[in-house]
Amino acid sequence: HSHEGHSHEGHSHEGHSHNEAQTVDSEGAEDSSKPKPIAVLEDGVYNFGSMEPYTRRQHKFTVRNEGDAPLTLREGHSSCKCTIGEVGDESIPPGGESTILLSWRSAEGSQLFAHEAEIITNDPDNPILTCRVEGRILSQLVADPGAFSMTGIIPGVAEQATVTLTSQTWESFEV
């Protein structure tokens, strides 16, 4: 059962031995007045709209420490290259902020693109922050229809098929 909302006097009478109750008090594990960091991630999702294939982009996320103890950040699991930057020892003082730089490289295809990076913090209420970038990768060349067949061609009779080539990235191109 949870001890939240109980006063400290109640702890030693709830089946804890005297030593355990003292440990809880001296550690301050359940004491809300103990200083602790509070990690706040501003705008954890960044939508870059659209980008060309095989290009590199980066985006800075800001993490603030709204607590009253130093906040530490370190890289967790990431599906892209992520750099925690601009904090010398990766410790953010109370009221301070740090930048997390995410960089990613797009592949080919006109599909939705998303990458996430986890940042591990020492904030007991927010141990993992997730930074996410998402958007669409443009296609360099799209054929419509993607395939066509010519059946029943008679020698000497001209047959015709039309295919439209469009590009989301090139202004002009030659076929």
What is the CB-side half-sphere exposure of residue 125 using CA atoms within 13 A?
11
Cα–Cα distances (Å) from 56 to 85, 90, 115, 123, 142, in that order, read 18, 25, 13, 32, 22
Q: Is the pLDDT of residue 109 over 50?
A: yes
User: What is residue 168's predicted lDDT score, i.e. its pLDDT?
Assistant: 61
For residue 157, the Cα-to-chain-centroid distance in whole angstroms is 59
Average pLDDT, the chain: 75
Percent of the chain whose predicted confidence (pLDDT) is above 90: 31
Mean pLDDT, residues 5-16:
48
Least confident stretch, 13-22, 55-64, 139-148? 13-22
Report pLDDT for 155.
Answer: 73
Q: Residue 2: its pLDDT value, please? A: 47
Burial class (CB in 10 A: 0-12, 13-18, 19+), 134: middle
Range with the lowest mean pLDDT among 25-34, 51-60, 146-155, 165-174? 25-34
Predicted confidence (pLDDT) at residue 9 exceeds the cutoff of 70: no
Q: For the residues 63-81, what does the mean pLDDT come to?
A: 88
Beta pairing, strands 142-144 & 91-92: unpaired
Distance of CA 71 to the CA centre of its chain: 19
The yes-or-no verdict on residue 24 having pLDDT over 60 is no
